[in-house]
Amino acid sequence: KKILVLHGPNLNLLGTREPQIYGSTTLNDIDVMLKERAKAAGVELVSVQSNYEGKLIDEIQQAGKNGYEFILLNAAAFTHYSIAIRDAIAAVDVPVIELHISNVHKREEFRHHSVISPVVMGQIAGFGVDSYIAALDIALRKMGAAK
Ligand code: DQA
């Protein structure tokens, strides 16, 4: 069983990027934590970060063929305007959980709207790094892999 975690633009800078908003945990810290948690449930977790919209679209398109049963997606700024990522999600059968570290709904108005929310299973936002843990735990439960 496999889960794909997709991190969008600027998330490679986690740890030093606006730490008052995003915290001091690095992307690598998050990936290691998620991999261990998935492994404990007998699931392989693969993590991909890209600053490029097309790379994220390629990953979503190929997820089913690559054997992934779930995608955990922090599309970062693309969340708010990428119709192309929305269309890729709508085109595939692999369920997607949308997640955000910050509570996008209490930030700038342009972050309140997600163009991907209508095509995902659900959205998790505002719990810091724990947003990733919550998304993973839900995916594991849905896959019947939770301990
Ligand atoms: C984010 C929220 C987005 O609005 C922002 O563009 C990001 C990160 C989050 O995880 O809180 O890059 O997706």
Residue 147 falls inside a structural domain: no
Q: Are 71 and 29 in contact (CB under 8 A)?
A: no
* Amino acid, res. 5: V
Residue 46 falls inside a structural domain: yes
Q: What is the CA(91)–ligand 1 centre distance, in A?
A: 23
Here the tokens at position 54 are 């097309």
Q: State yes or no: is 113 an active-site residue.
A: no
- The range of the structural domain enclosing residue 82 comes to 2-142
End-to-end CA distance of the chain: give it in Å, rounded: 14
Q: State yes or no: is 100 an active-site residue.
A: yes
Q: How confident is the prediction along the chain (147 residues), in pLDDT tens digits per residue?
A: 999 999 999 999 999 999 999 989 999 999 999 999 999 999 999 999 999 999 999 999 999 999 999 999 999 999 999 999 999 999 999 999 999 999 999 999 999 999 999 999 999 999 999 999 999 999 999 999 875
Smallest CA-to-CA distance from 25 within 118, 110, 119, 130 is with 130
Q: Read off the pTM.
A: 0.97
CATH number at residue 38: 3.40.50.9100
Residue 30 falls inside a structural domain: yes
Number of domains in the chain: 1
ipTM exceeding 0.95, yes/no: yes
Placement of tokens 């019947």 in the chain: 144
Q: What is the CA(36)–ligand 1 centre distance, in A?
A: 24
Residue 92 falls inside a structural domain: yes
